[in-house]
């Protein structure tokens, strides 16, 4: 991996600044999904149980560089406190005298959550003085925020210039599992790509195409593939400027001998709405003016059969408008199929795909569900993540 982790440093008695990703949904000042909080508990417990003074920092939402009361981290601290059994403090500042005093009073094994770092515009600018102020609170830095590792911010990159720096246990696992997809997958390697827009996934497609043994395409992005084949797609979202690219992808797959499976039937709706009139049709018979909303039952069956002998499956993007019950079947059945694979490693990209498997209660049956939407995409594109690169440049010497 090229970086050290929390296992490589002395912990007892030291003030340890831990960048975590606690960007969780809130409703009426309550955490409604604590998946990301749960994901960083192993690192927090590891440090606290060894006598570290654990200082957590995170962002929440997009406050645009100013204080926004609804985006304070106090509700997150309360949820952390309930999960860790108490001993979690909170301070409504992330730098300055109040934060420094709270850190100074932190006992060995104690945990303190600082306020939302994005209340300061300097955070997203990777401002050196703001990074230095954060770093002054601690003696060592741990990055366990994979979901923010693709951002070159003060709390992910800047602080590494002032503190010995290592990876947390979550970041380590993310890099290990996603890295296996690119460098050492169990074969056959299958990539499932979905979601609304092809342009969001082009770089991933390009990087995976020479690595996979099978490629399945679904979701709204399939419409541009249909267009490249000369099919009519009604009023479905398409990207005509990407048709030539898609044609190149299909030809490249053909030359490599990699099967590229597209939907053969879809669920089409008269309007783009939750309760719109809809029907299952062949992809060659999409009615004029209708919208592609999901993959159809024939496609679901073909995808299931294709996945049966997989060694590794990486999935990013739903198969349709899964938020609406009439159009969730393709995404749900695909998730259930992956959860039921006996001999495959199943790796689910972050963002909406992770939300699907969490909502279906299937996350525990996947090999790995990434906590980073944008970060997992950029990693699978083969791009260096600034937060990870910074750890490699500023390795802790113990």
Question: Looking at the annotation, which residues are catalytic?
Answer: 36, 197, 351, 374
d(CA 392, CA 21): 20
H helix intervals, 229-371: 243-256, 297-307, 329-340, 352-359
Measured between alpha carbons, how far is 73 from 79 in angstroms, rounded to an integer? Answer: 10
296: helix, coil or strand? coil
What are the helix (H) ranges across the chain? 35-49, 74-84, 97-104, 121-124, 128-135, 169-183, 202-208, 222-228, 243-256, 297-307, 329-340, 352-359, 373-380, 386-393
3 state SS of 30: strand
DSSP 192: E
Contact 185, 312 (CB under 8 A): yes
| CB 249, CB 205: distance < 8 Å | yes
Angle at 377 between CA 168 and CA 330, to 5 degrees: 115
Q: Which two tokens stand for residue 243?
A: 């048709």
**CB of 84 within 8 A of CB of 45?**
yes
Backbone angles phi, psi at 281, to 5 degrees: -135, 160
Distance CA 120, CA 94 (A): 9
Question: DSSP string of 127-176?
Answer: -HHHHHHHHTT-SEEEE--GGGTTS--TTTTGGGGTS-EEE-HHHHHHHH
What's the full length of the chain, in residues? 398
Interacting residues of 86 by C-beta distance below 8 A, sequence separation 6+: none
């Amino acid at each position: 991996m090229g970086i050290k982790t929390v296992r490589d440093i002395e912990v007892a008695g030291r003030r340890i600044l831990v960048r975590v990703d606690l960007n969780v949904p809130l409703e009426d000042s309550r955490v409604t999904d604590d998946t990301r909080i749960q994901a960083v508990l192993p690192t927090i417990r590891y440090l606290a149980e060894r006598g570290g003074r654990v200082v957590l920092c995170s962002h929440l939402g997009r406050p645009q560089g100013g204080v926004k009361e609804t985006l304070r981290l106090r509700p997150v601290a309360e949820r952390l406190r309930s999960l860790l059994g108490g001993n979690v403090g909170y301070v409504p500042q992330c730098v300055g005298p109040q934060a420094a005093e709270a850190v100074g009073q932190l006992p060995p094994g104690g945990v303190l959550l600082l306020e939302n770092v994005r209340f300061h515009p300097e955070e997203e600018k990777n401002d050196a003085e703001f990074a230095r102020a954060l770093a002054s609170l601690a003696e060592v830095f741990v990055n366990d925020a994979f979901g923010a590792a693709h951002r070159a911010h003060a709390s992910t990159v800047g602080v590494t210039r002032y503190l010995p720096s290592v990876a947390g246990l979550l970041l380590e696992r993310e890099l290990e599992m996603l890295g296996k997809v690119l460098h050492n997958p169990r074969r056959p390697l299958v990539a499932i790509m979905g979601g609304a827009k092809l342009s969001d996934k082009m770089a991933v497609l390009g990087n995976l195409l020479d690595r996979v043994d099978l490629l399945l395409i679904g979701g709204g992005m399939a419409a541009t593939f249909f267009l490249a084949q000369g099919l009519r797609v009604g009023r479905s979202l398409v990207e005509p400027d990407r048709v030539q690219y898609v044609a190149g992808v299909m030809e490249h797959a053909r030359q490599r001998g990699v099967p590229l499976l597209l939907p053969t039937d879809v669920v089409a709706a008269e309007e783009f709405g939750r309760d719109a009139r809809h029907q299952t049709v062949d992809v060659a018979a999409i009615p004029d003016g209708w919208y592609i909303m999901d993959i159809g039952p024939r496609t679901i069956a073909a995808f299931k059969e294709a996945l049966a002998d997989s060694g590794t499956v990486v999935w990013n993007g739903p198969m349709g408008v899964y938020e609406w019950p009439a159009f969730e079947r393709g995404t749900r059945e695909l998730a259930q199929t992956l959860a039921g694979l006996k001999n495959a490693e199943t790796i689910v990209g972050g963002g909406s795909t992770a939300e699907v498997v969490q909502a279906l209660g299937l996350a525990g049956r996947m090999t790995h569900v990434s906590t980073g939407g944008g970060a997992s995409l950029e990693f699978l594109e083969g791009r260096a993540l600034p937060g990870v690169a910074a750890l490699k440049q500023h390795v802790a010497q113990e």
